[in-house]
Amino acid sequence: MKKKIAILGSTGSIGKCIFDIVKKDKKNFEILFLAANTNYKELLKQAKIFNVKNLLIADKKIFKKVLNKYKKKTKINFHNNYDSFDKIFKGKKIDYTMSAISGLYGLDPTLKIIKHTKNIAIANKEAIICGWNLIYKNLKMNDTTFIPIDSEHFSIWSLLDIKKNNNIERIFITASGGPFYNFPLKKFKSITPKLALKHPNWKMGQKISIDSSTMMNKVFEIMEAKKIFDLQYNKLSIFLHTQSYIHAIVKFNNGLTKILIHDTNMTIPIFNSLYPDNEKNIESKKLNLNIINNLKLKTIDQKRFPVIKILKNLPNKNSLFETVIVSANDRLVNLFLKKKINYLDISKFLLIIIKDKEFKKYKTIRPKNIDEIKKLSDYVSLKIDLLSI
């Protein structure tokens, strides 16, 4: 029997990756739903390959354009609202959903589709960081299995036995260092968006590439790991590992340490989330002994990557303070890409915001719903604009 799946954010890098995987194994997969923001042309191409009957286009203008142009030409049902899940899935659970919509926009559809799927793979940092307590509640309520897709978190997840108390001493995730791990500090003032987007190991979108260059990406990954694996921050660390070959190291209290390695290719964690029983093979490179024999793991230089200091200011309980950090960073990266602030301003303003009395109070406030998160996010963005003028 074919596995029934849905892909939220099917035209983005993660969405395309999973689509390409299932396209090679069409006899075993049926795609029931695809969603994108504006890229309707790619969405329609994907729909044609799998004869998908339900498509969602989030952008209202594009949705109306597509509806007017294609409604009478196709039997596809076009949607613009994630409340349509109840109508689409009709009370039956599909086998697998990939949630790969970027930003806080991905939280609402993620929460709404959980009850309709047996397994949900989430590749959305913001949703996990800002709304994990809401996601976790829905997962438990609907008996849905969660699979993390970030290479680091998938690696940790793969190393742990979720049915046992793993008795973890410490978990280490790795950071490539991005394009500036050995860039002269005196030249940081002159870093341009073009330079910051040149990641040495990974092909990624603009936002995550900038986050990787500042090391904010790793701050977020530590925040994710803390929530996903229910740990305290003092059990999580980062190693600089420029080759990006090791993705996670887990040290247990019984003296054992496990390490997971794979090529710099997001296809690998996504592929394994689709085939958890190791029933299919994937082409991969031979074990690289040159890298294994020269790992050169290092601790993070805070002078080079000052955003790492944020980790010392985080509460161990789920709070709205995480929304403050995510929203501030999102806005600052956006301003840098538009060349309205310089590169050093990203870390400068982030460190100002987290110490602001107005925002520190959110460390003790637990998110109650999406609206609360969205309103705070909008306010933080406005505050950043005022700071950067």
Separation in Å, CA 12 to CA 37, 206, 378: 9, 12, 24
**pLDDT tens sequence across 172-194:** 999 999 899 999 999 999 999 99
Residue 120 pLDDT greater than 70, yes or no: yes
Structure tokens at 174: 């790795």
Q: In the predicted model, is pLDDT for residue 298 greater than 80? A: yes
Q: What is the mean pLDDT of residues 198-213?
A: 84
Find the DSSP H helices in the chain. 13-23, 40-50, 60-70, 85-89, 107-113, 125-142, 151-159, 193-196, 206-214, 216-228, 267-274, 289-292, 321-337, 343-355, 357-360, 370-388
3-149 folds as: Rossmann fold (3.40.50)
Report the pLDDT value the prediction gives residue 389, as an integer from 0 to 100: 63
Give the mean pLDDT of the chain. Answer: 93
- How far apart CA 143 and CA 146 sit, in angstroms, is 10
Q: Dump pLDDT digits (tens) for 66-79.
A: 999 988 788 899 99
- Say what the pLDDT of residue 238 is: 97
| CATH fold of the domain at 315-389 | Rna Polymerase Sigma Factor; Chain: A (1.10.1740)
**In the block, residue with structure tokens 């790992």:** 295
Residue 264 has pLDDT above 90, yes or no: no
The percent of residues above 70 in pLDDT, for the chain, comes to 99
| DSSP codes, 210-252 | HHHHHTHHHHHHHHHHHHHTT--GGGEEEEE-TT--EEEEEEE
Pairing of strands 246-252, 168-175: antiparallel
Nearest by Cα to 248 from 235, 234, 262 = 262
**Averaged over 261-275, what is the pLDDT?**
93
Could you tell me where in the chain the CATH 1.10.1740.10 domains are found? 315-389
Give the amino acid at 100.
Answer: A
Cβ–Cβ under 8 Å, residues 105 and 58? yes
Q: pLDDT tens digits, residue range 236-249?
A: 999 999 999 999 99
* 308 pLDDT above the threshold of 90: yes
Query: Which 3 state secondary structure label does DSSP give 97?
Result: strand
Distant-in-sequence, close-in-space partners of 364: CB < 8 Å, separation ≥ 6: 315, 317, 319
Locate tokens 């794979």: which residue? 262
Q: Which of 15, 273, 13 is nearest to 120 (CA)?
A: 273
* Span(s) in the chain for CATH 3.40.50.720: 3-149
pLDDT at 277 over 90: no
pLDDT for the residue numbered 166 = 81
Write the pLDDT tens digit of every residue in 154-171: 999 999 987 777 899 999
Separation in Å, CA 337 to CA 112, 193, 195: 32, 6, 11
pTM of this structure: 0.93
pLDDT tens string 94-112: 999 999 998 899 999 999 9
What is the mean pLDDT of the segment spanning 307-327? 96
Residue 258: is its pLDDT beyond 90?
yes
Distances (CA, A) of 388 to 90, 146, 353, 384: 48, 39, 12, 6
